[in-house]
Amino acid sequence: MLSTDGIYDEIFDKTLATLQKIFRVDLKKQRIDSVHIKSNMRHLGRIRLFAESIRKFLNNLKRHHRAHFDQLDKSLTGHYLGKNKESVFAMVKPTKSAHTLNQLAEDVFHLIQKFNGVSRVNDMHSFKQLNRLFHEPTMSG
């Protein structure tokens, strides 16, 4: 993962250096809120990771274990598999990112709890990814 491998900072620094050259910006006059941009980028990256992992799991569950999929609340499945699924998480305002990330973590937790012990579902690669995503300390908070 980007944040655990330290790649996150390197990517940000290289991007910043490139933009500095292109726009001829003096970083000595850097604004304080640029620190918040870095923090928001991290949250928005996690949001995308959570949303995509949930979407992938739900698609696989629907395809391979339809009876289990049909037991899920339609508002949950519609949120991730509906027509506007991409725009829901792409348009998160930075000020709402912590709340959105919390909601996504709750949805992952709900799915893990619901299917914990269902061996056919637990063996799915996408379920294992959800579990890992939720339990890795750097990703869930």
pLDDT in tens, 77-130: 998 998 765 555 655 666 677 788 889 999 999 999 999 999 999 999 999 999
Cα–Cα distance measured from residue 128 to residue 55, given in angstroms and rounded to the nearest whole number: 14
Residue among 99, 127, 98, 129 nearest 113 (CA): 127
Which residue is listed with tokens 């250096």? 17
Of residues 3 and 135, the one with the higher pLDDT is: 135
Q: Evaluate if pTM is beyond 0.85.
A: no
Cα–Cα distance measured from residue 37 to residue 43, given in angstroms and rounded to the nearest whole number: 10
Both structure tokens of 140: 């869930």
Q: What is the dihedral of CA 115, 118, 119, 123, to 10 degrees?
A: -20
Of residues 75 and 30, the one with the higher pLDDT is: 75
pLDDT band per the 50, 70, 90 thresholds, residue 141:
very low
Both structure tokens of 123: 């063996």
**57 pLDDT more than 80:** yes
pLDDT, position 70: 97
Query: What angle do helix axes 34-64 and 125-135 make, rounded to 10 degrees?
Result: 150
Residue among 78, 84, 2 nearest 41 (CA): 2
Both structure tokens of 40: 């928001």
pLDDT band per the 50, 70, 90 thresholds, residue 37:
very low
pLDDT in tens, 2-26: 555 667 677 777 887 787 788 777 7
Both structure tokens of 39: 């923090």
